[in-house]
Structure 1
Amino acid sequence: MEPVDYIVLVLYFGTLLVIAVYANKKQKTAEDYYVGGRGVGTLPLAALWMSSWVGGAAIMGTAEKSFEIGISSLWYPLSMFSGFIFFALIFAGRIKRLGDRHRHITYPDLIEQRYDTRVRLVSTVTTILAFVGYTASQLLSAAHIITSITGISLGYSFLVATTVTVVYTSVGGFFAVEKTDRFQTLLVIVGISAVATPLTWSALGDASRLGTELPADFFQLGSWGWGAIVAMFISMVLTFFTSMDSYTRCFAAKSVRAARNGTLVAALIVLCISVSICFLGMSAKILIPEGTDGSSTLIRLIMHVFPAGVKGLMLVTILSAIMSTADTCILCASANLTRDVYQRFINPVAPQARVMRISICSSILVGVIGALVGWYSKSIINLLIMTFTINSAGLFLPTLGVFFWKRASSRAAFWSMSISLVTVLGWYLGKGAFPDSVLFAIDPVWPGLVASALLFFPLSLTAPGYREAEQNG
């Protein structure tokens, strides 16, 4: 690393903090802090979607998998692309209309409006667990990048990544996140597709080397393993329908059209960037010296191939993608603690000034807990897939019931969510305790979904009565 690369990094961190201070002056209410006053247009909304999904796993994880198994790694971003499309066409407009009608801020707001307080509580617990996991994975990625850039220990890198991310998120809230995400999405698009890809192509000299020097199975779609691919695809797509950031994006949109179109634009951007990242990971298999594994593939490619100045720009590009996802995760879990716990159960009549203070404190708490979880984690992509499963298996069917099944009952939603959550967590514990067990080799998403279905449908159909759901047009 040359001095100019360090200057780029310092300028990036400084820009984030300045934006946070500016944004803090615009926020007066919790609605401002968490959904930006419900006035976000199509392109800013696409940037917010990008910040939610194109982080450590999408960039670092896809590059690592591309380095290890080739084009089969594209199943991760393809499942993400599919989730965007399905959500935009099926849910985005409905969520926006219902959210505006009832002034929803969080996913549990919508769940309680359709079911009851018990169901809200279970969805809140599930969402907090998932978003702490998401936060941990992003801070873990950011710490590894800072270590690669500066050479300082991983512990100090964790401290830097956590401090900067937590400060600009907690102080600036939604307005800071929205402004930084525009900046960071532009960095990702330019850095990955317009800078990194051409430079790597040039370093290869001849792109045909990919076909002649890589193993044949690098060009097989199923080399990841079809069982793992299907389970990941299901978990990812279902997570779009149950992840709270999907709902806050729609609540924040200025119109139904913006909610739908912003999601579709994000899908196209994700697809373009992911193909570039796959190319980078496969190229690294040729360009990076032998004897290395897939960990930190993209970082090592940058350090090995790119010139001074560009190294700093590229590392900041990756860091910006990761930190933009981390800020979204922190803000979502903070909303759960503030809106769904404090305002709902502890102090429903709290003045806005106090709610804002609680919001900032909640953001700090989530960031610290996420950093601690990340410190004890090893695999970025495995941590992400685990949190996708926790967030999707038990919540998906009751969420569909909100919009499409009048007979869905509160009792059914409560027990299906609760037992599914316990099943998924228990399955992961079983996988850790009995790694050679045939039973626990089954991906936890399947027993989680089965447990949810076996409770949700029978309990709804046998309920003596049910509450009519308010339907969207």
Structure 2
Amino acid sequence: MKHIDLFIMILYFSVILFVGWMGSKKVKTSESYAVAERNLGFFMYLSCMAAVVLGGASTIGTAKLGYLHGISGAWMVIMLGAGIICLSLFLAKKIYGLDVLTISEMLSRRYKGETRLISAIVACTYTSLMVVTQIIGMGTILNVFLGWGLFPSILLSGGIVLFYTLLGGMWAITMTDVVQFVIMTAGIFFIMLPASLIQAGGWEGITERLPDSYFNIGTIGGGTIFQNFLLFTLGMIVGQELWQRTFTAKSLKIVKAGGIGAGIYSMFYAIGVSLIGMCAYAVFPALDQPQNAFAYMALHTLPSGLLGIVLASVISALMSTASGSLLASSTLLVNDIIKPKLVPDMTEKKFLFYSRAVTLIIGLFSIICALWIQDVLTALDIAYAILSGAMFFPIILGFFWRKATAAAAFWSILISAAAVIGGLVWKGADSGEPIMYGLAAGGMTMVLAVYALPAAKPADHESSLETANLQDSGKGGDVWKRSM
């Protein structure tokens, strides 16, 4: 990289730190730290929703898949976009009215019992792994571009994310996400994609150099596409970081419109980055590490100045997802474990203190894990396998099945999480089977436990009425609040 590119990167990091510091001035209460006072308009909401999804795996991973499989490498992020759209279309009305901060808090209101604790542990495991994937991605990109080595690259990028998330919570994340969304859009769609196509000889050039299979949307295989649906579409529907963003919107209309817009944007992003990976294969068909396809293409294609902007755009995508997942992790631990179990009389001031302390601990832990795992797609698959396999049925059946009980939800989460983890140990971290083990175990356990384990009649009756009212009115927050 030339000095001008390095200057652009230093300027970008400085702007992000400054915007994050400005966001910290808005933080006065737990709600401002966790959900930005539930006051985001359409553009800010759409930017945040898209930014939290399109991170390291969505950029570096999709370019790698495009390099290896062609246009069908887009399926992973297409399924992420489909998950946002499904959440916005089918669950937004039910979610938006809930006066909660986390999925685990919602489950505790629906089921009572220990579902809050076990679900918080599972969801926090997922969000923490999401932080790890983004830090790996940032370290990989900075290492390739700047040549500093993976260790200092991870420390620098992870440290910046930790700094502004620690200070400003959701307000800082929201303000930086808007900046990052604009930079990300310009860098990918208006600089990197056109430059890659030109370098590869245009559409005619890549059609001549690439196998026909690279232009078949199904090349990656039906089994892999279905696995992506199970992992990413279902994972998005029950992801804490996405629910937490849903709570930030000013109105239900913004939740639906912004979520659908973010989902469609994600699908275009998937196709664009896959095409960049295809161009990289056309120009450099013998890369030793396909994970570096995006960075390698940028280094050898873009002139000085533009290279710095594209690097900033990629880092933007990674930082926005990392910060959102980091905040989701700390919110889960503080709101659903520390507050109800250890500090029941927690004040607003203490909530902010514990949130920042836990954010610091999780951030440092994630940086250490990133140095250990080092493969962004493997970390992502593990994260979504745990989330979708363990949480999908208790959450969805809690909304749509009146007979679902607290005991059934608890055992479903516990057994399905064990099935996923056991499958990952048995089959390996890159296998698609553990997610199916988890879903099968969770679904069967949920159904069997409803009929085999007796529930406390009053609580079960109340939960059934709450769910019925929720389905009829879409105002679950008011109903559940009155039942507390």
TM-score range, shorter chain: over 0.9
Matches within 5 A, 1:221-370: 221-288=217-284, 290-370=286-366
Q: Aligned partners of 2:218, 2:264: CA distance in 1, in Å?
A: 23
8 A Cα contact 2:84 2:237, kept in partner: no
SS in structure 2 of the partner of residue 259 of structure 1: helix
Please report how far the alpha carbon of residue 381 of structure 1 lies from its aligned counterpart in structure 2 after TM superposition. 1.4
| Counterpart-to-counterpart distance in 2, 1:309 and 1:177 | 26
After TM superposition, the structure 1 stretch with the greater mean CA deviation from structure 2, 87-96 or 452-461, is 452-461
1:446 aligns with 2:436: yes
**Counterparts of residues 23-42 of structure 1 (less than 5 Å):** 23-42=23-42
Q: Which residue of 2 aligns with 1:179?
A: 175
- Aligned partner (choices 419, 424, 432) of residue 423 of structure 1: 419
Distance, in Å, in 2 between the alignment partners of 1:168 and 1:64 is: 30
Q: Return the offset for 1:442.
A: 5.9
* Structure 1, 320-329 or 233-242: larger mean CA deviation: 233-242
Contact 2:55 2:319 (C-alpha < 8 Å) held by counterparts? yes
* Cα distance between partner residues in 2 of 1:187 and 1:125: 34
Q: Once the 2 structures are TM-superposed, how far is the Cα of residue 196 of structure 1 from its aligned partner?
A: 1.3
Shift of 1:462: 4.2
TM-score by length of 2: 0.93
Partner residue of 1:4? 4
Counterpart CA distance in 2 for 1:292 and 1:109 is 46
Counterpart for residue 78 of structure 1: 78
Larger CA deviation: 424-433 vs 340-349 = 424-433
Q: Is the 8 A contact 1:132 1:366 kept in 2?
A: yes
| 1:42-121 mapped onto 2 (5 Å cutoff) | 42-97=42-97, 99=98, 103-121=99-117
Structure 1 17/291 Cα, relative in aligned 2: closer, same or farther at 3 Å?
A: closer
Cα RMSD (Å):
1.6
Aligned to 2:192: 196
* Alignment partner, residue 146 of structure 1: 142
What whole-Å deviation, never above 9, does each CA across 1:396-451 have from its counterpart, x for those lacking one? Answer: 11111221111100000000110000110011011249x9xxxxx66111111111
Alpha-carbon offset, residue 205 of structure 1: 3.0
Deviation at 1:289, TM superposition (A): 6.2
Q: Is the 8 A contact 1:249 1:259 kept in 2?
A: no
Q: Is the CA contact (8 Å cut-off) linking 1:232 and 1:385 kept in structure 2?
A: no
Q: Aligned-pair distance for 1:167?
A: 0.4
| TM-score, normalising length: structure 1 | 0.95
Aligned residue number for residue 438 of structure 1:
none
CA contact (8 A) 1:93 1:257 kept: no
Residue range with higher mean Cα deviation, 244-253 or 307-316: 244-253
Is contact 2:287–2:293 with CA below 8 Å preserved after alignment?
Answer: no
Residue 77 of structure 1 and its aligned partner are, at CA, apart by 1.7
Distance 1:246 1:163 in 2: 23
Share of identical aligned residues, percent? 25
Q: CA deviation at 1:193?
A: 0.6
CA distance in 1, matches of 2:198, 2:206: 13
**C-alpha separation in 2, matches of 1:291 and 1:172:** 41
Distance 1:137 1:363 in 2: 17
Unaligned residue ranges in structure 1 (runs of 5+): 436-440
For 2:199 and 2:158, locate their aligned partners in 1 and report how far apart those are by CA, in whole Å.
34
Name the SS for the 1:376 alignment partner: helix
In structure 1, how many angstroms separate the alpha carbons of the residues matched to 2:123 and 2:328? 8
Deviation of 1:273 (Å): 1.8
Aligned partner of 1:158 in structure 2 is 154
